[in-house]
Amino acid sequence: MTALPRHRNRWRFPGPHIDLHRPELPSRSAELRAEPTPVVLDPSRTALVVVDLQNDFCAPGGWLAGIGVDVSVLATAVELSAQAVSAARAADLPVIWLNWGNRPDQANLPPGVTHVYDPSGTGEGIGSRTPGTDSSVLTKGSWGAALVDGLVAEERDIHVDKYRMSGFWDTPLDSILRNLRVDTLIFAGVNSDQCVYATLIDAACLGYDVVMLTDASATTSPPYCHEATIYNTRQCYGFTAATPDLLDALDTADDRSEEDPA
């Protein structure tokens, strides 16, 4: 049986009492070149959330490609997300894989969600079979719900199935993040203007600090949709950054805590 990793949110039992102090998370500082302004984040309180980099969206044989969408525009985001994941692990940031993984019976899906993926009502959306793979579209345990080639999950990573554009609705994502004791979320994935953005907005509204990696996020929508998402993220919700700058920030992070202003 694999031993569980040391949990960030547990009581201690030194005896005879129970110590309600949580494990100490040593404060670190990482200076990140971001827009609209540079930020200093604490890697000990930061997680990387990677959204929907799964076969149905990103693979040439996936569902999206099968309905005629050019998924080649997502390849760079996949490559840069892999780099961000490696850097996050090296810096001991939790990696959250947030993918569509619907129930086979779709019992929790409202009609508005199913309509988005099957607007003509012909049964070609969620739960249908993808030609060539016979995979059930966006369904938990299917090939289409698995990570696309080029991305490999490790045992310590955390997987969360989602059932809406936002990963916070009807999922344990918020509880997981709060138990990780993180307050800053870095986002990558697809589609930047849809599921990445919806999850980022909900995160900001819940009080998390949010940073979107503009080059490790991409969309099959027209380019102006990605640009509008970047603008609105900076204007209304948080910050944007480039993956090389995140790698530099994590690589040069130190253990000096930011002093409180006088």
- Which residues form the catalytic set? 52, 162, 195
Q: Do 166 and 195 touch, CB atoms closer than 8 A?
A: yes
Q: Do 142 and 102 touch, CB atoms closer than 8 A?
A: no
Q: Do 262 and 252 touch, CB atoms closer than 8 A?
A: no
Residue partners of 197: CB distance under 8 A and separation at least 6: 229, 232, 233
Q: State the Cα–Cα distance between residues 200 and 202, nearest whole angstrom.
A: 5
Place of tokens 């739960």: 127
Q: State the Cα–Cα distance between residues 211 and 141, nearest whole angstrom.
A: 30
**Residue 100 CA to its chain's centroid (Å):** 11
